[in-house]
Amino acid sequence: MHPAQATNPIIRWEYLVDEWDQISEALVQHLRLTVVSVALGVVLATGLSAVALRFRWAATPITTTTAVIYTIPSVALFGILVPYTGLSMWTAVIPLVGYTLLVLVTNFVAGFRAVPAAVRDAADGMGMSRVRRTLGVDLPIAAPYLIAGLRIATVSTVGLVTVAAVVGQGGLGRLVLDGLRRSFWTPMVVGSSLSILLALGLDLVIHLVGRWLTPWARRRAT
Amino acid sequence: MASAIRLVGVTKRYDDRSPPAVRSLDLEVEDGELVALIGPSGCGKTTTLRMINRLVEPTDGRIEVAGLDVRSVDATQLRRGIGYVIQQAGLFPHRTVAQNIAVVPRALRWDRARIAARVEELADLVGLERSLLARYPDELSGGQQQRVGVARALAADPPVLLMDEPFGAVDPIVRARLQGELSDLQRRLHKTIVLVTHDLDEAVRLADRVAVMSLGGVVEQYASPDEVLRAPANEFVEEFVGADRGMKRLRLHTVGELPFLQGPVVDEATTPAEALATLDRLGSDWLGVTRDGTFAGWVHRTSIGEAPLSRLQLHMPAAQVTPDSTLHSAVELIMSSDTSVAVIDDGGRFGGVVTLEHVRGALARGRGS
């Protein structure tokens, strides 16, 4: 056994105590990057979805573009942006937003297309205005799709934020990089574990909020 | 009576390349009348219906509801005053049954208590258990959903109802029941109803008048169901209503409409000789016997001898109808009975008999239309 590893167990518990400030700071940074990116992604995806739903011809170009963005390797995309946005938060956020678009737009469009034609017809026939129908009928019926899209986008963003540490935006990825550089297992394990827990936690929160917002979808199963 | 709905020279052209879906259509629906638009698919009946509440805007022509040009009214305002029922019910899955029924009253800003009271009233009216009001539509059967659809359309008590194949998506047994309920409802509410259907039996059963339409929204005949069946205006209508139109007419008339026919029925005090003479005269083998004005039963010619009729063993009638029975059910009973005669039981009293010849004669004279 290599001597370095002998003194280097997977977890050194005192690290958690000594470096707690750093760890919690990384966690907060991670959460902030995730929330900002997903929030901006939702705003952008809402606009793109609205265009895709309004103009039939626009749907394919929009989904294709978001799919192409999704295929760009994240490390490369972070690197490409450095000359333009430096090591600012935008260097991390822009690609993260880009990656959310495919799943968000796809789910948003699918959700609104899932509104039964008969329901729309009935809403119109009862004298609902366009805005009222969209907010009061289409949106709630599409909600389970929107929530599903939001969950996937959030979980994958939590994972990608880890990679964003390469452009110096902190987050749990910094702990992982730190550990890699020093061949020190503990920060890597702590960073990865917290990232997983954060992803699961956010997923659960959105899931529960979604259930609370769509009581009818729950009753259907019974 | 005033026209509740009037279409004058209405044309709908969806695009310039194809012929119009509806071409210069004239149609009037009177106040409180149920009119069925019927025809093969693509004949423009649904387009016609949807132009009345402006879900489809006519290319040309004029449509009036209650004397008002529909284009002079804001479309959403217009629609809140016209009930709309569609095939798939189109209930909002995210709203409870009560909330579904309350959509239009809420849009009209009724207060809470009034809405709640109205919702319960409507549930009773359409035969929906109140316990279902808190459920979501997906927890209901197809028939129950369609009842909610009707309740929702009636919520703000609109004078006009538009129904697009309202019972097309439910099974035949439920459909028949819902049709009966609509019929009862209409007898009480006297709404002006335009009903689109491709089911001739439905149209015949429910409508005061039927507009038979052919491709391009051309009205081939606009008359009472009985008239359409008895005297189709042209070959198209004749073919559309089918070869069994005579049988269909039987459903439109009741036994009570027939002229009284004594038939081979005598009082038990009649002498056996007179009874046999009656049978001979009518060419019948079965003799009906009444006692105190009530039908007591049948006796076969071979059982009649010297004994008074009151002593004979009687067979109870195999075929018995009431004045409310349709001629259709009377004919069905006659076909399956030994006596080839159905006896009318008018609340316990003998009300005459029905024979096939009797029915045929009545229809040929066009009675009761």
Please state the rounded mean pLDDT for residues A40-66.
Answer: 94
Task: Find out whether B166 and B195 touch, Cβ atoms under 8 Å.
Answer: yes
- How many beta carbons lie within 10 A of that of residue B211, not counting itself? 25
For residue A126, CA distances in Å to A140, B12, B158 come to 18, 22, 11
- Residue A7 in domain: no
A29 to A23, A173, A197, B79, B224: CA distances (angstroms): 10, 10, 15, 53, 77
Q: Which domains does chain B have, with CATH numbers?
A: 3-243 (3.40.50.300), 255-364 (3.10.580.10)
User: How would DSSP label each residue in B71-100?
Assistant: GGS-HHHHHHTEEEEETTTT--TTS-HHHH
Structure tokens at B322: 């009431």
Q: What is the pLDDT of residues B197-253, one digit of tens each?
A: 988 989 998 999 999 999 988 999 999 999 999 899 999 999 998 878 888 888 888
The model's confidence at residue A88, banded by pLDDT at 50, 70 and 90, is: confident
Sheet with strand B265-267: strands edge to edge: B265-267, B286-291, B294-300
Q: For chain B, what percent of residues have pLDDT higher than 90?
A: 51
Query: Would A137 be classed as within a structural domain?
Result: yes
Rounded average pLDDT over B131-140 = 94
DSSP state of B260: P
| Sequence-separated (6 or more) residues with CB below 8 Å from residue B208 | B33, B34, B35, B224
Whether the CA torsion A109, B104, B193, B170 is positive or negative: it is positive
- Return the residue of B nearest to A142 by Cα: B94
pLDDT of residue A220: 52
Position A221 scores a pLDDT of 46
Looking at residue B194, its pLDDT comes to 97
Residue located via tokens 């849009």: B107
DSSP string computed for B211-251: EEEETTTEEEEEE-HHHHHHS-SSHHHHHHH-TTHHHHHHT
Select from A130, A212, A216, A220 the residue whose CB has the most chain B CBs within 10 Å, as the one to mutate to test that interface.
A216
Q: Is A213 on the interface with B (CB under 8 A)?
A: no
**Given an 8 Å threshold on Cβ–Cβ distance, is A119 in contact with B103?**
no
Query: Looking at residue B295, what DSSP letter applies?
Result: E
Nearest neighbour of A118 by CB, restricted to B90, B95, B138? B90
Q: Which two tokens stand for residue B122?
A: 């409507």
Q: Is the pLDDT of residue B258 over 70?
A: yes
CA distance B318 to chain A (A): 49
Q: What is the ipTM of this complex?
A: 0.78
CB A127 within 8 A of CB B79: yes
In tens, the pLDDT along B301-352 reads: 888 888 888 888 888 766 888 888 888 888 888 888 877 788 888 877 888 8
Tell me if A175 is assigned to some domain: yes
Residues A53, A59: Cα–Cα separation, whole Å:
7
Å between B177 CA and nearest CA of chain A? 23
DSSP-assigned beta bridge partners for residue B5: B29, B65
Within 8 A of A139 by CB-CB distance, chain B residues are none
Quote the percentage of chain A above a pLDDT of 90.
Answer: 62
> How far is residue A75 from each of residues A72, A80, A135, A179, measured CA to CA in Å?
9, 9, 39, 19
CATH number assigned to the domain comprising residue A71: 1.10.3720.10
Q: pLDDT band at A2, cuts 50/70/90?
A: very low
Distance, CA of A26 to CA of B355 (rounded, Å): 95
Higher pLDDT, A221 or B199: B199
Q: Which residues of A touch B77 (CB under 8 A)?
A: 127
Which residues form the domain of A195? 20-214
Cβ-based contacts of A124 with chain B (< 8 Å):
55, 79
pLDDT digits 0-9 by tens, B99-133 = 999 999 999 999 999 999 999 999 999 989 999 99
pLDDT digits (tens, 9 = 90+) for A133-176: 999 999 999 999 999 999 999 999 999 998 888 887 888 988 88
Residues B13-41, mean pLDDT to the nearest whole number: 91
All residues of chain B having their beta carbon less than 8 Å from the beta carbon of residue A126 are 79-80, 84, 103-104, 107, 152
Which has the higher per-residue pLDDT, A51 or B251?
A: A51
> What predicted TM-score, i.e. pTM, was given to this entire model?
0.79
Positive or negative CA dihedral for B87, B88, B91, B92? Answer: negative
Are B301 and B232 in contact by the 8 Å Cβ rule? The answer is no
**Looking at beta carbons, which residues of chain A come within 8 Å of B109?**
none
Q: If you average pLDDT over every residue of chain B, what do you get? A: 89
- Kindly indicate the confidence band of residue A201, based on its pLDDT and cuts at 50, 70 and 90: very high
Establish how many alpha carbons lie within 13 A of residue A131's alpha carbon, considering only the half-sphere containing its beta carbon: 0
Mean pLDDT, residues A188-197: 92
Cβ atoms of residues B214 and B232 within 8 Å: no
Nearest chain B alpha carbon to A128? B76
Closest chain A CA to residue B77 = A127
Q: Which of B77, B88, B162 sits opposite A127 (nearest CB)?
A: B77
Whether residue B353 is predicted with pLDDT greater than 90 in this model: the reply is no
| Residues pairing with B63 in the sheet | B7
Nearest to A127 among B88, B94, B104 (CB): B104
Nearest to A127 among B80, B90, B139 (CB): B80
| Helix, coil or strand: residue A52 | helix
Contacts of A143 in chain B (CB under 8 A): 94
Task: Report the side by side order of strands in the sheet with B68-69.
Answer: B22-30, B3-12, B60-65, B68-69
> Percentage of chain B with pLDDT > 70?
98
Q: Which residue in chain A has the smallest CA separation from B149?
A: A122
Non-local (6+) Cβ contacts of B306 within 8 A are B272
In Å, how far is A127's CA from the nearest CA of chain B? Answer: 4
Q: Round to whole Å and give the CA distance between B203 and B215.
A: 18
- Residue A3 reports pLDDT greater than 50: no
| Tokens, residue A166 | 């390469």
DSSP per-residue letters across B156-197: T--SEEEEESTTTTS-HHHHHHHHHHHHHHHHHH--EEEEEE
> What single-letter amino acid sits at B158?
P
Q: Which of A41, A37, A39, A60 is nearest to A109 (CA)?
A: A60
Is the model more confident about B245 or about B91?
B91
Minimal Cβ distance to B88: which of A116, A140, A220: A116
Rounded to 5°, the CA angle B55-B56-B60 comes to 140
Rounded-to-integer distance, Cα B240 and Cα B40, Å: 8
Nearest CA in chain A to B140: A220
Does A81 map to a domain? yes
Query: Are B289 and B296 in contact, with CB atoms under 8 Å apart?
Result: yes
**For residue A54, is it within any domain?**
yes
Q: A-chain residues within 8 Å CB-CB of B79? A: 124-127
Is A51 part of any domain? yes
Model confidence at B63: pLDDT above 70: yes
CB pairs below 8 Å between A and B: how many?
A: 75
Distance of CA A143 to CAs A23, A53, A101, Å? Answer: 35, 16, 17
Residue A42 lies in a domain: yes
pLDDT in tens, B163-197: 999 998 888 888 988 999 999 999 999 999 999 99
- Considering its fold, how many domains does chain A have in total? 1
Q: Which residues of B touch A (CB under 8 A)?
A: 53, 55, 75-80, 84, 86-95, 103-104, 107, 135-136, 138-139, 149, 152, 162
Residue with tokens 């035969």: B127
pLDDT value, residue A202: 97
- Residue numbers of A between 127 and 186 with CB closer than 8 Å to B: 127-129, 132, 137, 140-141, 143
Q: Dig out the tokens for B103 from the structure.
A: 């959509």
Q: What per-residue confidence (pLDDT) applies to A7?
A: 59
Closest in B80, B93, B139 to A126, CB measured = B80
User: CA-CA distance, B28 to B222, in Å (whole number)?
Assistant: 10
In a domain, A92, yes or no: yes
How much of chain A, in percent, has pLDDT values that exceed 70? 95
| Residue B55, pLDDT above cutoff 90 | yes
